[in-house]
Structure 1
Amino acid sequence: MTELHQAAAAGDSDLVEEIVKKNSCDPNQKDLDWNRKTPLHWAASKGQTEVVRILIENGARACLRTDNGWTPAHFAAESGKLAVLRLLHSLHAPVDKEDCSGDKPVRIAEIYGHEDCVRFLEKAEAESRSYRQKAKLNGLPLDDTDEEWEQEKKEVKKQVIKK
């Protein structure tokens, strides 16, 4: 776990800002000891809204996934962090991706009984789909896919098919 991971998890926005401004840590580094969580995953799970904002403004990709396919939105939904979900959605981060089990953040929020998050995510999912369609039609770039994770998923499928 890097210093940036630790600062993000602790909600130390001043230290996070200092680290990313100095470019001393990659905001997208996946911690192999913690299921490939990025600093953004940690901040989202802990409800550190200001840290989430700082990280994204400094290049953190909200589409990156852990080894089980969770995005920062999954972690915020699990913890019932509605403010983080609202921020992620306002920044056009993916809030409707399925994990390895086929669960979207809205399902995670349901499992953990976070009804306010469920209501928000039901609406946000439709808005996200609409935004992506409009962006595609207008040729706008989207950062909603973790290419590395998608490739690994394909490799696993190939291995299963070979067996």
Structure 2
Amino acid sequence: MEDITASGLVPDLSTQQKSALVESLKAERSREQIVSGIQHAAADFGNLAAIATNIGLPADLIKGMQGAQIAATGIAQFATGNYLGAVASVTSLAGLGAPDAGAQRHAQMMQYLQQQFAIVKRRGKVLGSNGRNLAAKNRKAADEFASQLMAKLDADLFRRDI
């Protein structure tokens, strides 16, 4: 930080002003490091929640990690001056126990698909039954045709032999 004042970038500042500038820059760097650490913690909580979900840990534990992620994100947003983002993060904690809209849509889609597969299965049974009946009729008709053809061939051969 002292490099800025020693480099001559700010030649018109008094020694007291240069000292104040250096202290201000140190404080800003410290604040940025703290915010960066909080943001990393928020990301870590999010990753831990995802891992916990993937391996089937209890829902309460997962909600706790998600809550910690939201809280850390809100703190980081507040620290950077994004007050609306901080308020949005904190107020989203109230909805943490609410059902996830994506999960609800997924459940609705799965229910719809189950209903449709049940219909297809019923139709398949009907078609299968009808198909078996049709095949039996075709087999019977083919057998009759083969019998008639053989009889005719036998009759024609018998006539030729006489």
Per the shorter chain, which TM-score range?
under 0.3
TM-score, normalising length: structure 1 = 0.21
- Mark the structure with the bigger radius of gyration: 2
Higher helix share: 2
Q: Which has the higher contact order (CA 8 A, sep 6+)?
A: 1
With structure 2 as the length reference, what TM-score do the two structures score? Answer: 0.21
